[in-house]
């Protein structure tokens, strides 16, 4: 059963209204630049900030409440988010209002638990913690604590930065291995942990990388001799005893390594909801094909939401896996594809080809 059942968003950036959008095990979001794909993914980053007690930090970094609200506070008086998960057993709802200081204040916040033996859910209102949301209280108990725990298992990953200062290329704390961080900054430490404690998963990751990078033999993962609390990502070339660091890997290879680690890690470590924005960046077409296979495999136990600009990646999924984002009337609108409506087209064309032909929507158009 997918972790997240439905999501309602009203007044967040380009999203005027999304009402009870149903989400499946795999959700591939397509659309033109500026359609709101990244804003939809960003809703989950916003929820994470709310949970962590960083609501105000998020608003400041965004440039103020007016930048977060759909067309600003003159158009949007309230920002509303409501998520239903665990088969509709639990829900979390929050309403935020702008202040004169261009901040967002939690006006109301409610958690729900619905034992289906009863006609209606139990609800509990959460008191705000000053300017932060009540769900950010780590000492919370009862339904609030349970909802808070689930929100922590939804993770948004960004692996775009493969520059010389990329977090993935930096030295990491060797004990920073509880989970793969959203920017991949603890990749070396996490792989080291898997090699020591979960060799089957580690071996599968290694063999999968070799399918994309045949020259790759294995990682060289050891704490640094002069600083045993630190570790750096190094690897060995086939047929050579020389060690190379991550700067010797192409951008696409490094991204594929962290994506393979994300989707092939043991189920016990994998988040219940994985979100990745444009995972195909820099990948060879074969690597994109393999990535689609990894997503499908992981989606047996983990819900996945991807945004993409790749027709090739789209080709590997079913119509029901696809959400099309379009700008309509100045706001983002989402439509889920249906196989029955595309049956005649799919006899001759792939999903990616239909997208390129503008038969699915999700292409640049005038509003």
In the chain, the domains with their CATH numbers are 1-153+271-367 (3.40.50.300), 164-270 (no CATH)
Q: How far is residue 313's CA from residue 291's CA, in Å, rounded to a whole number? A: 8
Cβ count near 359 (within 10 Å): 14
**pLDDT reading at 366 higher than 80:** no
Please compute the mean of the pLDDT values over residues 70-99 and round it to a whole number.
Answer: 94
Residue 269 has pLDDT above 80, yes or no: yes
Residues 106-128: what's their mean pLDDT? 91
Q: What angle do CA 264, 265, 268 make, to 5 degrees?
A: 130
Rounded to an integer, what distance in angstroms lies between the CA atom of residue 68 and that of residue 10?
Answer: 11
Q: For 21-35, how does the pLDDT look when each residue is reduced to its tens digit (9 = 90+)? A: 999 999 999 998 888
Adjacency order of strands within the sheet including 234-237: 216-220, 234-237, 243-245
Mean pLDDT along residues 32-40: 89
Q: Please answer whether residues 205 and 221 qualify as being in contact, where contact means their C-beta atoms are separated by less than 8 angstroms.
A: no
Beta strands in the chain (DSSP E): 4-12, 15-22, 26-30, 79-85, 90-98, 104-113, 122-125, 154-157, 172-173, 216-220, 230-231, 234-237, 243-245, 273-277, 303-308, 322-328, 331-336
57 pLDDT more than 60: yes
Report the C-alpha gap between 205 and 208 in whole angstroms.
5
The conformation of residue 3, written as its DSSP 8-state character, comes to: S
Rounded CA separation 27/347 (Å): 23
pLDDT at 364: 58
DSSP 308: E
- The helix/strand/coil state of 230 is strand
Helix (H, G, I), strand (E, B) or coil at 108: strand
In the sheet with 26-30, reading across from the earlier edge strand, the strands are 154-157, 273-277, 303-308, 26-30, 322-328, 331-336
Q: Could you tell me the pLDDT band of residue 275, with boundaries at 50, 70 and 90?
A: very high
Please give the Cα distance from 263 to 204 (Å, whole number).
11
**Span 329-343, pLDDT tens digits:** 888 999 999 999 999
Give the tokens for residue 207.
Answer: 């063999």
Average pLDDT over residues 202-212: 98
- Residue 112 banded pLDDT, cuts 50, 70, 90: very high
**What one-character-per-residue DSSP string does 120-157 give?**
S-EEEE---BTTB-GGG-TT--HHHHHHHHHHTTEEEE
Percent of the chain residues topping a pLDDT of 70 = 98
* Cα–chain center distance at 11: 21
| Structure-derived torsion over alpha carbons of residues 188, 192, 195, 200, reported in degrees to the nearest 10 | -40
**Predicted pLDDT of residue 1:** 72
Q: What is the mean pLDDT of the chain?
A: 94
Q: Which of 2-6, 34-38, 219-223 has the lowest mean pLDDT?
A: 34-38
pLDDT band at residue 365 under the 50/70/90 scheme: low
Encode pLDDT of 300-317 as tens digits.
999 999 999 999 999 999
pLDDT at 116: 80
| Distance (Å, whole) CA 352 – CA 268 | 34
Nearest of 346, 282, 358, 341 to residue 317 by alpha carbon: 346
The pLDDT of residue 117: 83
């Amino acid at each position: 059963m997918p972790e997240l059942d439905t999501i309602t968003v009203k007044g967040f950036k380009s999203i005027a209204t999304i009402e009870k959008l149903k989400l499946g095990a795999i959700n591939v979001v397509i659309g033109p630049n500026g359609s709101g794909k990244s804003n939809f993914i960003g809703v989950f980053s916003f929820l994470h900030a709310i949970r962590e007690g960083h609501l105000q930090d998020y608003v400041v970094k965004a440039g103020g409440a007016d930048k977060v609200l759909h067309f600003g506070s003159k158009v949007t008086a309230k920002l509303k988010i409501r998520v239903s998960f665990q088969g509709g057993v639990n829900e979390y709802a929050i309403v935020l209002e702008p202040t004169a200081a261009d901040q967002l204040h939690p006006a109301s916040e409610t958690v729900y638990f619905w034992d289906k033996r009863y006609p209606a859910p139990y609800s509990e209102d959460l008191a705000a913690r000053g300017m932060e949301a009540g769900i950010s209280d780590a000492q919370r108990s009862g339904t609030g604590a349970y909802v808070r725990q689930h929100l922590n298992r939804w993770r948004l990953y960004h692996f775009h930065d493969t520059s010389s200062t990329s977090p993935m290329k930096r030295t990491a704390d060797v004990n920073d291995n509880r989970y793969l961080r959203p920017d991949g900054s603890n990749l070396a430490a996490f792989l080291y942990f898997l090699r020591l404690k979960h060799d089957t998963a580690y071996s599968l990751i290694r063999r999968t990388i070799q399918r994309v990078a045949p020259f790759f033999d294995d990682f060289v993962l050891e704490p640094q001799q002069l600083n045993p609390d630190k570790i750096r990502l190094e690897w060995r070339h086939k047929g050579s005893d020389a060690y190379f660091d991550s700067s010797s890997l192409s951008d696409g290879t490094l991204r594929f390594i962290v994506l393979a680690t994300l989707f092939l890690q043991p189920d016990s470590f994998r988040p219940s909801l994985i979100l990745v924005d444009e995972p195909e960046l820099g990948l060879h077409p074969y690597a994109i094909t393999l990535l689609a296979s990894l997503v499908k495999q992981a989606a047996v136990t983990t819900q996945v939401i991807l945004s993409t600009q790749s027709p090739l990646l789209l080709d590997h999924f079913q119509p029901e896996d696809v959400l099309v984002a379009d700008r309509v009337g100045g706001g983002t609108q989402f439509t889920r594809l249906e196989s029955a409506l595309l049956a005649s087209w799919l006899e001759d064309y792939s999903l990616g080809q239909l997208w390129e032909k503008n038969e699915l929507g999700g292409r640049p158009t005038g509003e």
